[in-house]
Copies of this chain bind each other. A is one copy, B any other.
Amino acid sequence: MAGKMKEMVESWSFLDTAESNFRPLVVIELAKGTKEETIEWFTKRIVDKKANGGAQLLIKPLVTENGVENIYLVGASHLRLLLGAEAVGLVKECSDNSMRTFTYSSRKTFKHFADDNHNFLTMAECQYIIKHELENLRAKDEKMIPGYPQAKLYPGKSIVRRLLTSGVLVQIFPLHDREELKKLSHSWYGRVKIGYQPLDDIRCYFGETIALYFGFLEYFTFALIPMAVIGIPYYMFAWEDYDKYVMFATFNLLWSTVILEVWKRMCAILTYRWGTLLMKRQFEEPRPGFHGVLGINPVTGREEPMYSSIKRQLRIYLVSLPFVCLCLYFSLYVMMIYFDLEQWALDYHKENESNFSSLMLYVPSIIYAVVIEIMNLIYRYAAEFLTSWENHRLESSYQNHLILKVLVFNFLNCFASLFYIAFVMFDMKLLRQSLATLLITSQILNQFAESLLPYWLQKRYNRRMKKRMCSKKTDMDLSLADQVNMEKEMGTYLGTFDDYLELFLQFGYVSLFSCVYPLAAVFAVLNNITEIYSDALKMCRVYKRPFAEPTANIGVWQLAFETMSVISVVTNCILIGMSPEVDALFPDSKMDLVLTVALVEHLLLAVKFIMAFVIPDKPRDIQMKLAKLEFESLEALKQQQMKLAAESLQE
């Protein structure tokens, strides 16, 4: 088999006319024992000419000491990548510093472009282009995958997606660039320094989605510093006056609105520089898991699985919604059991005061913490199953429904006990204590579970691997094989969801009860500084390199954070209204107190909405640049029409 492969590789190389050096960019791992006719058909389709429906890429089997192992390296000629950049609608900087959609015919006008400069496209961009081309490799007249009659195909179905769902294709992942990674990790977290992250380098290496997460994390940390600074004296001097708390809470509420609005502007600046703000939305293909009866899509006119939207709505409103409500109810029920247990432990401790009984005091908290984690885990699986069962056609719609489900449950699970303590038990001391415990322990646990543990495991594994490999050869080519073998065993980064969720819950701890515990912002800042380092470590050392994913904003998370800041206006107003100091201001009538609090709350909400409305989402210079581009395209259209009109009227 290896012999035949070698021969094929040689015969393919004639396609690589533009350049002689093959640069491996993406790794394809096929299942062990994949039938040869399948491999032949698949590789043929990858290298085949565009005109014949191929991807016109380059492919080479990875040769290790064990022979060919069904692992393939994919690359592409420079010309092919440039044409691919045009196909995905990449936006690059022109010589006149404006950002424009790249086209092959206008390539000379772009900054740093030269026909022999192969660094015009970053490696992450090349890998994104190859991924796009592979995913757009579509079945022509094949009725099934050759060798796998059960894996049906129909015209237009993405071959890679069918191979993945049928298990023939194990994974596709982009290769790390060892040298670049070293440079990046050095400037990112290699030295202890005070300063910004190298966001542009992160974006070049990992793509916009991940760079934007780190940008948001950094921005959010800086934005929390004023709150933290104001919060410190409250702890140091044990300020408990009413007016100081009111001042802190008011500042906090307005500040949180401002930072969320300003983030939109920051985000526009970043994504304009990265070109994704201008990138046109591509037409979304159905997600891999989408299934249904084959039919003609009325939009595209193509044959593809169809699924009734009414059925989906029924599944959402009659199954998913009741299930989520049930889970929320169950979560509240568990919380009530926890408070009962707590009470029981307290009573027990009072009755028989002993070492054992004082230990028993901690048992309910520990049990509750463990149960919460288990519930979050089980619910997450259930939510994924349900959302997948709802059979959304588009990945974006699937993601939105999943995020909504998980967000609501996590919000309740994390904050329900705090709400109960605050608004049912009215115990501010216990609230402060619980808040501190929850915030700090969750931060420590998260940091440990998220980065340090996988890092340690990965390191141990790498050391063993290296030892085994290095004892044999130090060949350059084998080093690539080593790298591929090592990287293919690394964990897969599942996206920024969990990272954003963590920040979202942290924002909740900081803002929901800010007037009770001003120190929360301090802990959040400290956590986020280490979080930047541990997340960076995670990205560079623990996980496979993820494919770059262009994005223009943080999507549904902006809405989630804004909703949280609205809820926090309500909770803070109630908390302040309940404080004994405020109570004392209205000795005659509780009515007046409540009415005043309600009035203040409504005013604050109104101010928030007006502020959100008045602050423009994009800075003026970005607006101008966008207007200029729009004007140019309109002008070009007009010129074209004028020419046509003049010609028609001359006739």
A375 part of interface (Cβ distance < 8 Å): no
Tell me the minimal C-beta distance from A643 to chain B in angstroms. Answer: 10
- The distance in angstroms between the C-alpha atoms of A283 and B631, with both chains bound, is 6
Q: How far is the CA of A300 from the CA of B570 in the complex (A)?
A: 47
Residue of B nearest to A620 (CB): B309
Minimum CB–CB distance from A106 to chain B (whole Å) comes to 12
- Which of B105, B591, B644 is in CB contact (< 8 Å) with A591? B591
Flag if B298 contacts A624 (CB, 8 Å): yes
Residues of B within 8 A of A630 (CB): 283
Which residues of B sit under 8 angstroms from A148, Cβ to Cβ? none
Let me know if A457 is at the binding interface, CB within 8 A.
no
Q: Which residues of B contact A631 (CB under 8 A)?
A: 283, 299-300
Per-position contact with B for A253-287: 1 when CB-CB < 8 Å, else 0?
00000000000000000000000000010110000
A628 within 8 A of B: yes
B299 & A644 in contact (Cβ 8 Å cutoff): no
A362 at the interface (CB under 8 A from B): no
Given A645-B50, A648-B104, the answer on whether A299 and B602 have CB atoms closer than 8 Å is no
Residues A601-643 near B (CB distance < 8 A): 602, 620, 624, 627-628, 630-631, 634-635, 638, 641-642
> Does A51 touch B at the CB level, under 8 Å?
yes
Q: How far is the CA of A627 from the CA of B298 in the complex (A)?
A: 10
Decide yes or no whether A594 CB sits under 8 A from chain B.
Answer: yes
A570-B602, A594-B591 in contact; A627/B83 too (CB < 8 A)?
Answer: no
Contacts of A298 in B (CB 8 A): 624, 628
The docked-state distance in angstroms from the alpha carbon of A631 to that of B86 is: 17
- Find the B residue at minimum CB distance from A570: B602
Is A598 an interface residue when CB atoms closer than 8 A count as contact? yes
State A298–B87 Cα separation when bound (angstroms).
30
- Of all chain B residues, the one with the shortest Cβ separation from A630 is B283
Interface residue SS majority, chain A: helix
Known: A570-B602, A634-B282. A83 touches B649 (CB 8 A): yes
Residue-by-residue, is A579-612 near B (CB-CB < 8 Å gives 1, otherwise 0)? 0000000000011001100100010000000000
Q: Is the CB of B79 within 8 A of A648?
A: yes
A631 to B620, CA, bound (A): 32
A401 at the interface (CB under 8 A from B): no
- Decide if A80 is an interface residue (CB 8 Å cutoff): yes
Q: How far is the CB of A294 from chain B (nearest CB, A)?
A: 19
C-alpha spacing A630/B280, complex, angstroms:
11
Inter-subunit contact B594/A649 (CB<8 Å): no
A103 to B648 CA separation, bound complex (whole angstroms): 12
Which residues of chain B are near A590, meaning CB under 8 Å? 590-591
Q: Is the CB of A56 within 8 A of B649?
A: yes
- Kindly identify which residue among B56, B283, B598 contacts A594, using a CB–CB cutoff of 8 Å: B598
- Which residues of the partner chain B approach A591 to less than 8 Å between Cβ atoms? 590-591, 594
Interface presence of A49 (CB below 8 A) = yes
Tell yes or no: A247 within 8 A of B by CB: no
B80 pairs with A644, CB closer than 8 A? no
Please tell me if A494 contacts chain B, counting CB pairs below 8 Å: no
- A49 contact set on B, CB distance < 8 A: 646, 649
Q: Smallest CB-CB separation from A628: which chain B residue? A: B299
Interface string of A91-104 (1 = CB under 8 A from B): 00000000000011
13 A-B residue pairings within 8 Å (CB atoms): A49-B649, A50-B646, A79-B648, A83-B641, A103-B641, A283-B630, A283-B631, A298-B624, A299-B631, A590-B590, A591-B591, A591-B594, A594-B598
